Amino acid sequence: MFRILFHTPEIPGNTGNAIRLAAVSGAELHLVEPLGFDFEDSKLRRAGLDYHDLAVLKVHPDLDSAWRALTPERVFAFTSDGEDTYTDIQYQPGDVLMFGPESTGLSKTLKHDPHVTARVRLPMLESRRSLNLANATSIVLYEAWRQHGFAGAAS
């Protein structure tokens, strides 16, 4: 299945929503520290509901540790200045969908990390800065999953 990578997420509700998203879709969620919250945060727990135990969640102390654990063949860095739109990509199981922190998005260094296959954007109206992290992740993950016939989903 697909793997979501949040680099230094800041808002507990977004990560809680991503935990629930991972649980219902079969995706893995990887978080790179430092995190802007702890796992006892009530907003994180509330957003994730009772799905925390159903999600595959891994926390990595730094990006190098994440790369070693993921050994990715393809990494898509989601950024408002990406060259490709998310629907242009032919996603493959095992792909890493990488998103940056809510306040800044991915840094220039991360966008050009040697692991990154492509920088990808979600279309928005002009003069809009960004989508909510959890919403953007959901849009992309469901497109990737749709391309594979929602493999494993209940009919």
Q: How far is CA 57 from the centre of its chain?
A: 12
Which tokens go with 104? 């800044």
Share the mean pLDDT of the chain.
92
How distant, in Å, are the alpha carbons of 11, 78, 114 from that of 40?
13, 28, 34
CB 138 within 8 A of CB 27: no
Q: How far is CA 139 from the centre of its chain?
A: 10
Domain 3-147: give its CATH architecture. Answer: 3-Layer(aba) Sandwich (3.40)
CB 75 within 8 A of CB 130: no
85-128 tens-digit pLDDT: 999 999 999 999 999 999 999 999 999 999 999 999 999 999 88
pLDDT at 91: 98
Residue type present at position 97 = L
Q: How far apart are CA 55 and CA 20, in angstroms?
A: 7
The share of the chain scoring above pLDDT 90, in percent, equals 80
What are the extents of the domains in the chain?
3-147
26-73 tens-digit pLDDT: 999 999 999 988 877 576 666 555 777 789 999 999 999 999 999 999
pLDDT at 41: 57
Cβ of 73: how many Cβ atoms within 10 Å? 11
